[in-house]
């Protein structure tokens, strides 16, 4: 288990394999922890340097008062990539994680190689933030 200080909070993360393997950053949905990827990472690590982490407000990451925004969490992911020395990564997101992946790719296309989205959408209803 590793912690990284990013955007003023401690983020709980796990990274797999050596830095020479292409990085894959994976985003879980709202309320789910990085451990939700435990079955997939076994396969991912054969091909990628896989980075899983708990989003702000979830699991062992800090839980500051809200509201939280998709952009805020995408910026934290960028900070996490900087902390880990990752210039460019493939990203995979499900549900809320897919929204974060889309924001990261749209705001920083030079930092994202390929995007894989699962059971997500491009825009949340009338309120683009959520409270913890």
Catalytic machinery residues: 95
Give the alpha-carbon dihedral of 122, 126, 129, 131, to 10 degrees: -130
13 CB-contact burial (10 Å; exposed 0-12 / middle 13-18 / buried 19+):
buried
Structure tokens belonging to residue 128:
């683009």
CA distance 10 to 8: 7
| DSSP letter, residue 67 | -
127 CB-contact burial (10 Å; exposed 0-12 / middle 13-18 / buried 19+):
exposed
């Amino acid at each position: 288990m590793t912690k990284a200080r990013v955007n003023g909070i401690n983020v709980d993360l796990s990274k797999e394999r050596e830095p020479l393997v292409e990085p894959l950053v994976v985003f879980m949905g709202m309320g789910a922890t990085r451990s939700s990827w435990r079955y997939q990472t076994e396969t991912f690590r054969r091909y990628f340097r896989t980075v899983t982490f708990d989003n702000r407000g979830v699991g062992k990451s800090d839980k500051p008062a809200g509201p939280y925004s998709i952009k805020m969490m995408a910026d934290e992911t960028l900070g996490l990539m900087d902390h880990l020395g990752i210039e460019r990564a493939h990203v995979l997101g499900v549900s809320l994680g897919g929204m974060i992946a889309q924001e990261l790719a749209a705001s920083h296309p030079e930092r994202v190689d390929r995007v894989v989205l699962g059971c997500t959408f491009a825009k949340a209803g009338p309120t683009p933030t959520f409270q913890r």
